Structure 1
Amino acid sequence: MKKILLILSVFLVFVSVYSFKTIHENKINSEVNFYNGSLKEAVIKAKKEKKMIFLDIYATWCGPCKLLKKTTFKDPELSDYLNKKFISLEINGEEGEGKEIVQKYQLKGYPSLLFIDTNGNIVNKTLGYYDGKQLLEIVKEIK
Protein backbone atom coordinates (compact mmCIF):
# COMPACT_ATOMS: atom_id res chain seq x y z
CA MET A 1 0.00 0.00 0.00
CA LYS A 2 2.84 2.38 0.85
CA LYS A 3 4.47 1.64 -2.48
CA ILE A 4 1.27 2.48 -4.36
CA LEU A 5 0.89 5.74 -2.42
CA LEU A 6 4.51 6.64 -3.16
CA ILE A 7 4.08 5.94 -6.89
CA LEU A 8 0.83 7.89 -6.92
CA SER A 9 2.45 10.83 -5.11
CA VAL A 10 5.37 10.92 -7.54
CA PHE A 11 2.95 10.75 -10.46
CA LEU A 12 0.85 13.63 -9.09
CA VAL A 13 3.95 15.77 -8.53
CA PHE A 14 5.08 15.08 -12.11
CA VAL A 15 1.66 15.97 -13.54
CA SER A 16 1.51 19.18 -11.47
CA VAL A 17 4.99 20.30 -12.52
CA TYR A 18 4.32 19.47 -16.19
CA SER A 19 0.96 21.28 -16.14
CA PHE A 20 2.48 24.38 -14.53
CA LYS A 21 5.31 24.38 -17.05
CA THR A 22 2.89 24.04 -20.00
CA ILE A 23 0.61 26.81 -18.72
CA HIS A 24 3.62 29.07 -18.11
CA GLU A 25 5.03 28.41 -21.60
CA ASN A 26 1.64 29.15 -23.19
CA LYS A 27 1.47 32.50 -21.40
CA ILE A 28 4.95 33.42 -22.59
CA ASN A 29 4.15 32.50 -26.19
CA SER A 30 0.67 34.03 -26.31
CA GLU A 31 1.41 37.29 -28.06
CA VAL A 32 1.11 38.68 -31.54
CA ASN A 33 3.95 37.54 -33.77
CA PHE A 34 5.00 40.65 -35.66
CA TYR A 35 6.68 40.14 -39.02
CA ASN A 36 10.14 41.65 -39.18
CA GLY A 37 10.20 43.35 -42.58
CA SER A 38 8.80 46.17 -44.67
CA LEU A 39 5.18 46.68 -45.66
CA LYS A 40 6.07 45.74 -49.24
CA GLU A 41 7.61 42.47 -48.02
CA ALA A 42 4.58 41.83 -45.79
CA VAL A 43 2.26 42.28 -48.79
CA ILE A 44 4.23 39.66 -50.72
CA LYS A 45 4.10 37.30 -47.74
CA ALA A 46 0.37 37.96 -47.27
CA LYS A 47 -0.35 37.14 -50.93
CA LYS A 48 1.62 33.92 -50.66
CA GLU A 49 -0.15 32.88 -47.46
CA LYS A 50 -3.57 34.20 -48.55
CA LYS A 51 -3.87 36.43 -45.48
CA MET A 52 -4.54 40.09 -44.85
CA ILE A 53 -2.16 42.46 -43.08
CA PHE A 54 -2.64 43.92 -39.63
CA LEU A 55 -0.46 47.03 -39.37
CA ASP A 56 0.24 48.83 -36.11
CA ILE A 57 1.66 52.31 -36.74
CA TYR A 58 3.09 53.61 -33.46
CA ALA A 59 5.35 56.30 -32.02
CA THR A 60 7.95 55.65 -29.33
CA TRP A 61 6.61 58.44 -27.09
CA CYS A 62 2.96 57.34 -27.40
CA GLY A 63 1.43 56.05 -24.13
CA PRO A 64 -1.49 54.15 -25.73
CA CYS A 65 1.00 52.54 -28.17
CA LYS A 66 3.08 51.28 -25.26
CA LEU A 67 -0.04 49.98 -23.54
CA LEU A 68 -1.06 48.06 -26.68
CA LYS A 69 2.32 46.32 -26.70
CA LYS A 70 2.29 45.67 -22.97
CA THR A 71 -1.27 44.32 -22.71
CA THR A 72 -3.42 44.06 -25.83
CA PHE A 73 -0.89 42.34 -28.10
CA LYS A 74 -0.34 39.75 -25.35
CA ASP A 75 -4.01 38.82 -25.09
CA PRO A 76 -4.15 35.08 -25.86
CA GLU A 77 -7.41 35.10 -27.86
CA LEU A 78 -6.46 38.15 -29.91
CA SER A 79 -2.92 36.97 -30.59
CA ASP A 80 -4.08 33.50 -31.57
CA TYR A 81 -6.60 34.95 -34.03
CA LEU A 82 -4.18 37.49 -35.53
CA ASN A 83 -1.37 34.94 -35.81
CA LYS A 84 -3.64 32.53 -37.72
CA LYS A 85 -5.44 34.98 -40.01
CA PHE A 86 -3.09 37.95 -40.57
CA ILE A 87 0.46 38.95 -41.27
CA SER A 88 1.02 41.40 -38.43
CA LEU A 89 3.47 44.25 -38.78
CA GLU A 90 4.44 47.11 -36.48
CA ILE A 91 6.13 50.22 -37.85
CA ASN A 92 7.29 53.42 -36.18
CA GLY A 93 5.32 56.18 -37.90
CA GLU A 94 8.05 58.75 -37.30
CA GLU A 95 10.95 56.97 -38.99
CA GLY A 96 11.82 55.71 -42.47
CA GLU A 97 9.05 53.76 -44.13
CA GLY A 98 6.67 54.76 -41.35
CA LYS A 99 6.69 58.41 -42.42
CA GLU A 100 5.70 57.38 -45.95
CA ILE A 101 2.89 55.16 -44.67
CA VAL A 102 1.53 57.93 -42.43
CA GLN A 103 1.46 60.27 -45.41
CA LYS A 104 0.13 57.73 -47.93
CA TYR A 105 -2.77 56.64 -45.73
CA GLN A 106 -3.30 60.12 -44.22
CA LEU A 107 -3.04 58.91 -40.65
CA LYS A 108 -3.97 61.44 -37.97
CA GLY A 109 -2.50 59.98 -34.78
CA TYR A 110 -1.08 57.04 -32.87
CA PRO A 111 -1.62 54.22 -32.56
CA SER A 112 -3.17 53.76 -35.99
CA LEU A 113 -4.29 50.21 -36.62
CA LEU A 114 -4.75 49.33 -40.28
CA PHE A 115 -6.17 46.27 -41.98
CA ILE A 116 -4.74 46.00 -45.46
CA ASP A 117 -5.55 43.59 -48.29
CA THR A 118 -2.96 41.90 -50.50
CA ASN A 119 -3.11 44.80 -52.98
CA GLY A 120 -2.08 47.33 -50.32
CA ASN A 121 -5.56 48.79 -49.96
CA ILE A 122 -6.98 49.66 -46.55
CA VAL A 123 -10.01 47.55 -45.72
CA ASN A 124 -10.47 49.15 -42.30
CA LYS A 125 -8.54 51.42 -39.96
CA THR A 126 -8.97 52.62 -36.43
CA LEU A 127 -7.18 54.97 -34.09
CA GLY A 128 -6.36 54.63 -30.41
CA TYR A 129 -6.09 52.08 -27.67
CA TYR A 130 -8.25 48.96 -27.39
CA ASP A 131 -8.01 46.11 -24.94
CA GLY A 132 -7.70 42.59 -26.32
CA LYS A 133 -11.42 41.83 -26.29
CA GLN A 134 -12.36 45.12 -28.00
CA LEU A 135 -9.72 44.73 -30.71
CA LEU A 136 -10.67 41.10 -31.30
CA GLU A 137 -14.25 42.20 -32.01
CA ILE A 138 -12.97 44.68 -34.61
CA VAL A 139 -10.56 42.16 -36.14
CA LYS A 140 -13.26 39.48 -36.50
CA GLU A 141 -15.41 41.88 -38.55
CA ILE A 142 -12.67 42.19 -41.20
CA LYS A 143 -13.41 40.13 -44.30
Structure 2
Amino acid sequence: MIKKFLLTIFLITTIISANDKLKWYGFDEGLAKAKKENKFLLVDFYTDWCGWCKKMDSETYANKNIIKLLNKDFVLVKLNPEKHGTVNFDSNTYTNGQFAGAAGVTGYPATGFFEPSGQFIGIIPGYLDPTNFTDLLSKIVSKDYLNQQ
Protein backbone atom coordinates (compact mmCIF):
# COMPACT_ATOMS: atom_id res chain seq x y z
CA MET A 1 0.00 0.00 0.00
CA ILE A 2 2.77 2.44 0.92
CA LYS A 3 4.70 1.47 -2.21
CA LYS A 4 1.70 2.34 -4.39
CA PHE A 5 1.25 5.64 -2.57
CA LEU A 6 4.93 6.57 -2.97
CA LEU A 7 4.88 5.56 -6.64
CA THR A 8 1.80 7.72 -7.22
CA ILE A 9 3.45 10.71 -5.51
CA PHE A 10 6.61 10.18 -7.57
CA LEU A 11 4.67 10.06 -10.85
CA ILE A 12 2.66 13.18 -10.00
CA THR A 13 5.83 15.05 -9.04
CA THR A 14 7.55 13.96 -12.25
CA ILE A 15 4.62 15.12 -14.39
CA ILE A 16 4.40 18.48 -12.60
CA SER A 17 8.15 19.12 -12.79
CA ALA A 18 8.17 18.30 -16.52
CA ASN A 19 5.88 21.28 -17.05
CA ASP A 20 8.40 23.52 -15.26
CA LYS A 21 11.02 23.03 -17.97
CA LEU A 22 11.44 24.21 -21.52
CA LYS A 23 12.11 21.84 -24.40
CA TRP A 24 14.26 23.26 -27.17
CA TYR A 25 14.36 21.91 -30.72
CA GLY A 26 16.42 22.39 -33.85
CA PHE A 27 14.80 24.72 -36.39
CA ASP A 28 13.46 22.14 -38.86
CA GLU A 29 11.99 19.91 -36.15
CA GLY A 30 10.61 22.89 -34.23
CA LEU A 31 8.92 24.40 -37.27
CA ALA A 32 7.27 21.08 -38.15
CA LYS A 33 6.08 20.68 -34.55
CA ALA A 34 4.73 24.25 -34.41
CA LYS A 35 2.74 23.67 -37.60
CA LYS A 36 1.43 20.31 -36.39
CA GLU A 37 0.41 21.64 -32.95
CA ASN A 38 -0.78 25.04 -34.27
CA LYS A 39 1.61 26.92 -31.97
CA PHE A 40 3.83 29.92 -32.52
CA LEU A 41 7.53 29.27 -33.11
CA LEU A 42 10.06 31.17 -31.01
CA VAL A 43 13.69 31.13 -32.16
CA ASP A 44 16.36 32.14 -29.66
CA PHE A 45 19.37 33.32 -31.69
CA TYR A 46 22.38 33.12 -29.37
CA THR A 47 26.14 32.57 -29.29
CA ASP A 48 28.33 30.77 -26.77
CA TRP A 49 30.29 33.94 -25.90
CA CYS A 50 27.26 36.22 -25.41
CA GLY A 51 26.85 37.31 -21.79
CA TRP A 52 23.37 38.74 -22.37
CA CYS A 53 22.31 35.43 -23.93
CA LYS A 54 23.37 33.62 -20.76
CA LYS A 55 21.53 36.18 -18.63
CA MET A 56 18.38 35.67 -20.69
CA ASP A 57 18.70 31.89 -20.18
CA SER A 58 19.25 32.18 -16.43
CA GLU A 59 16.68 34.90 -15.68
CA THR A 60 14.07 35.17 -18.41
CA TYR A 61 13.79 31.60 -19.68
CA ALA A 62 14.04 30.28 -16.10
CA ASN A 63 11.07 32.37 -14.89
CA LYS A 64 8.18 30.05 -13.94
CA ASN A 65 5.48 32.32 -15.41
CA ILE A 66 7.35 32.57 -18.70
CA ILE A 67 7.88 28.81 -18.78
CA LYS A 68 4.10 28.32 -18.44
CA LEU A 69 3.36 30.83 -21.22
CA LEU A 70 5.95 29.33 -23.54
CA ASN A 71 4.89 25.73 -22.94
CA LYS A 72 1.25 26.64 -23.61
CA ASP A 73 1.53 28.59 -26.87
CA PHE A 74 5.01 28.17 -28.36
CA VAL A 75 7.46 25.66 -29.75
CA LEU A 76 11.01 26.70 -28.93
CA VAL A 77 14.16 26.64 -31.04
CA LYS A 78 17.71 27.54 -30.04
CA LEU A 79 19.89 28.51 -32.98
CA ASN A 80 23.57 29.45 -32.78
CA PRO A 81 24.51 31.19 -36.05
CA GLU A 82 28.19 30.47 -35.38
CA LYS A 83 27.71 26.70 -35.25
CA HIS A 84 27.73 24.39 -38.26
CA GLY A 85 24.24 23.42 -39.33
CA THR A 86 21.52 24.09 -41.85
CA VAL A 87 18.01 25.47 -41.76
CA ASN A 88 15.34 24.60 -44.31
CA PHE A 89 12.83 27.40 -44.64
CA ASP A 90 10.54 28.66 -47.39
CA SER A 91 11.93 26.19 -49.97
CA ASN A 92 15.52 27.32 -49.28
CA THR A 93 18.41 25.78 -47.38
CA TYR A 94 20.56 28.15 -45.33
CA THR A 95 23.54 27.77 -43.06
CA ASN A 96 22.69 28.83 -39.52
CA GLY A 97 24.53 32.12 -40.10
CA GLN A 98 22.80 32.79 -43.42
CA PHE A 99 19.42 32.16 -41.86
CA ALA A 100 20.11 34.53 -38.98
CA GLY A 101 21.17 37.21 -41.47
CA ALA A 102 18.11 36.63 -43.66
CA ALA A 103 15.90 36.95 -40.57
CA GLY A 104 17.48 40.32 -39.75
CA VAL A 105 19.63 39.31 -36.77
CA THR A 106 22.41 41.86 -36.25
CA GLY A 107 23.41 41.04 -32.66
CA TYR A 108 22.80 38.64 -29.81
CA PRO A 109 20.59 37.68 -28.22
CA ALA A 110 17.78 38.09 -30.69
CA THR A 111 14.35 36.49 -30.53
CA GLY A 112 12.50 35.51 -33.69
CA PHE A 113 8.81 34.75 -33.94
CA PHE A 114 6.88 32.78 -36.55
CA GLU A 115 3.15 32.18 -36.99
CA PRO A 116 1.88 28.62 -36.49
CA SER A 117 1.68 28.48 -40.30
CA GLY A 118 5.43 29.15 -40.48
CA GLN A 119 5.12 32.75 -41.67
CA PHE A 120 7.85 34.97 -40.26
CA ILE A 121 6.59 37.64 -37.83
CA GLY A 122 9.82 39.40 -36.92
CA ILE A 123 12.95 39.72 -34.80
CA ILE A 124 13.25 41.42 -31.43
CA PRO A 125 16.89 42.32 -30.76
CA GLY A 126 18.61 42.25 -27.39
CA TYR A 127 18.10 41.00 -23.89
CA LEU A 128 14.52 40.96 -22.59
CA ASP A 129 13.87 40.88 -18.86
CA PRO A 130 10.99 38.71 -17.59
CA THR A 131 8.50 41.61 -17.41
CA ASN A 132 9.13 42.86 -20.95
CA PHE A 133 9.30 39.32 -22.30
CA THR A 134 5.94 38.46 -20.73
CA ASP A 135 4.39 41.54 -22.37
CA LEU A 136 5.92 40.59 -25.71
CA LEU A 137 4.65 37.01 -25.53
CA SER A 138 1.15 38.28 -24.74
CA LYS A 139 1.25 40.55 -27.79
CA ILE A 140 2.38 37.68 -30.01
CA VAL A 141 -0.32 35.30 -28.75
CA SER A 142 -3.06 37.95 -29.05
CA LYS A 143 -1.71 38.90 -32.50
CA ASP A 144 -1.39 42.57 -31.53
CA TYR A 145 1.51 42.77 -33.98
CA LEU A 146 -1.04 42.60 -36.81
CA ASN A 147 -2.33 46.03 -35.74
CA GLN A 148 1.12 47.63 -36.01
CA GLN A 149 1.90 49.68 -39.10
TM-score range, shorter chain: 0.7 to 0.9
The answer to whether the 8 Å contact 1:46/1:86 transfers is yes
Counterpart of 2:40? 52
Q: Tell me whether 1:91 sits opposite 2:89 in the alignment.
A: no
Unpaired stretches in structure 1, ≥5 consecutive residues: 1-17
The answer to whether the 8 Å contact 2:43/2:111 transfers is yes
Counterpart selection for 2:24 from 23, 34, 49: 34
The answer to whether the 8 Å contact 1:31/1:73 transfers is no
Structure holding more helix per residue: 1
When structure 1 is superposed on structure 2, of 91-100 and 54-63 the one drifting more is 91-100
Counterparts of 1:13-28 in structure 2, within 5 Å, are none
Counterpart of 1:100? 98
Identity within the alignment, %: 31
Instruction: Find the aligned partners of 1:132 and 1:30 in 2 and give their Cα distance.
Output: 16
Counterpart of 1:133? 131
Inter-CA distance 104–124: structure 2 relative to 1 (3 Å threshold): closer
The answer to whether the 8 Å contact 2:35/2:118 transfers is no
Instruction: Find the aligned partners of 2:70 and 2:48 in 1 and give their Cα distance.
Output: 23
The answer to whether the 8 Å contact 1:56/1:89 transfers is yes
Q: Classify the secondary structure of the residue corresponding to 2:53.
A: helix
Deviation for aligned residue 1:105: 1.0
Deviation for aligned residue 1:29: 5.9
Instruction: Find the aligned partners of 1:56 and 1:134 in 2 and give their Cα distance.
Output: 16
What's the TM-score, normalizing by structure 2? 0.70
Unpaired stretches in structure 2, ≥5 consecutive residues: 1-8, 87-95, 144-149
The answer to whether the 8 Å contact 1:65/1:129 transfers is yes
Q: Which amino acid aligns with 2:24?
A: F
Instruction: Find the aligned partners of 2:77 and 2:41 in 1 and give their Cα distance.
Output: 7
Alignment RMSD: 2.1
Instruction: Find the aligned partners of 2:97 and 2:136 in 1 and give their Cα distance.
Output: 25
Matched pairs, number: 118
